[in-house]
Structure 1
């Protein structure tokens, strides 16, 4: 899968993993603002019994939900059950949240994160609605992976502050994400980055993306159904140049 090269340092910081403190034991938390948290899927040398593992998870839930942890950047880098995601609502200073994967489905707790700017939801296979995200006025980046049950993609069009949107599939699935059309992107007038890995657009019409006034990059799988559109758009729209170059490179192999 093609991964675009990112040079804008204002992008969210998963590419700055060295800034995160990796923790699994809530007792070891000492006020760090950037943490990569493994509250589940622990190794035996960390928690051997089911009771120990449950205490670890419960400890993190208590800490996060208390409302006084000065965490601004949080990476939940193991399986995330719903009650762990619920606890994140107790982090009023949170600006960045990444969820690796998990059986979570309710995003209502995230609506309390009024300062959040960037949200990565990996393995979002149970999520059916993004409506709670409407209450996040500073949200400028969303990365949504494997939302196969999402009922209405047009909800993304209500996040009008978005500058970066990644919507598609991630590692561990061969399924395609079917997006009916891109009409909903027309309201995202500030969007600079639109990346659709592992997705197919049922209407095959890319013009809504091409009409975005600030779009600098459009990325998607190499589908024959929209090759001619991409090549034509790339002649006048720099956002499509990278994708056009991939088509040309493929044809030369």
Structure 2
């Protein structure tokens, strides 16, 4: 009898300790901190998402970088936007909602392993909120850290050019003299940090670099001017000397790239 009373008391305590969720539209939620408002549009989050079978299918904390959201791109009328916008830096939010509302509000697509109507449980940690200037500083600092780590892990014997922030390493040297030129034939390959080829010059059809062509990315300009005829080098090129803050169809913004280039000849 005494054991039954103890068990019953424990059940009561557990039931009482479970916090009742609040409701906003079809979203059930609980917030750890206070509601706050600010004009910082760039959000850095960690997200843990669990499906209806209580199986964690997403945990950004193991990715080595934060989930980045530009809140200007979201549907500001959505309930999820409202909850995130009112979550302060270093606070957290627990939400229960349908997969389609979660991913749709974030301008994404529901993963194939989830149905649109499946209710998922999501923990959100608001790690930081940044202004436009603060976001640029964050991305540049993160990029510099990635580049330094890449050269160390891949054991590059690289020199850092402080003007361009390009890391470069000579692969083949030449005893020829450095010449002034207007155009040069170069062979190159441009790759992502995970070795995916982005662009390259074809065998037998070298790229003609013209020093007056400012549309050529800074990394190619830098190596073409730095190297003598017959020399080659590899370089880790920051986004400021590659595809910039916005990137293109193949490269994201603020993304460094790897360039290998050989100067074949000066033609003018």
Q: TM-score range by the shorter chain?
A: under 0.3
Bigger strand share = 2
Between the two structures, name the one with larger relative contact order (CA 8 Å, sep ≥ 6).
2
Bigger helix share = 1
Please, what TM-score do these two structures have when normalized by structure 2? 0.23
